[in-house]
């Protein structure tokens, strides 16, 4: 069977367009985050946001994700929470996880999805890089873990 150059170019353009959507992959090409499971989204948030630092840091990030999921102001599913614009690390749902931290993130995601939470996070729904402090009077810091400071807003 022979394909015309035009047909091959169309097919290549389709593959490039589909791969730019990000998320799940087939043959190394990405085809949209709608295909990611709750575990994959949670795992990615914990992996990238905790800088793969520790189980404690990953558990704390996972707890924030679940705290947001339980709040009606946020999406009611893990992928919706993690995928919210400007809330988590850029590319959190599309970048490659390249080291052994992915194994720990997978284990910790299982723990969080089974109901395990970091007790120090309490009801916090926010965090930022440790070492930064913001003097706003509508926030209360509750924990430092995994290179992040976790806080509640009132």
pLDDT at 12 over 60: no
Same domain, 57 and 107: yes
Same domain, 26 and 45: no
Q: What is the pLDDT of residues 53-104, one digit of tens each?
A: 799 999 999 999 999 999 999 999 999 999 999 999 999 999 999 888 999 9
Give the number of domains in the chain: 2
Half-sphere exposure of 143 (CA within 13 A, CB side): 21
Domain residues for 114? 41-153
Report CA-CA distances (Å) from 148 to 10, 21, 141, 142.
Answer: 46, 29, 11, 11
pTM equals: 0.77
């Amino acid at each position: 069977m022979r394909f015309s150059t035009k047909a091959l170019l169309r097919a290549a353009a389709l593959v490039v367009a589909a791969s730019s959507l990000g998320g799940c992959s087939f043959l190394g090409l990405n085809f949209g985050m709608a295909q990611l499971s709750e575990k994959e989204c949670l795992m990615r948030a914990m992996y990238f946001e905790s800088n793969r630092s520790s189980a404690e840091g990953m558990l704390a990030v996972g707890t924030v994700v679940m705290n947001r999921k339980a709040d009606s102001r946020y999406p009611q599913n893990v992928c919706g929470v993690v995928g919210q614009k400007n809330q988590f690390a850029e590319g959190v749902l599309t970048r490659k996880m390249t080291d052994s931290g992915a194994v720990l993130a997978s284990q910790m995601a299982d723990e969080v999805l089974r109901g395990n939470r970091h007790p120090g996070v309490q009801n916090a729904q926010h965090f930022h890089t440790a070492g930064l402090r913001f003097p706003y009077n509508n926030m209360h810091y509750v924990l430092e873990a995994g290179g992040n400071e976790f806080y509640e807003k009132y």
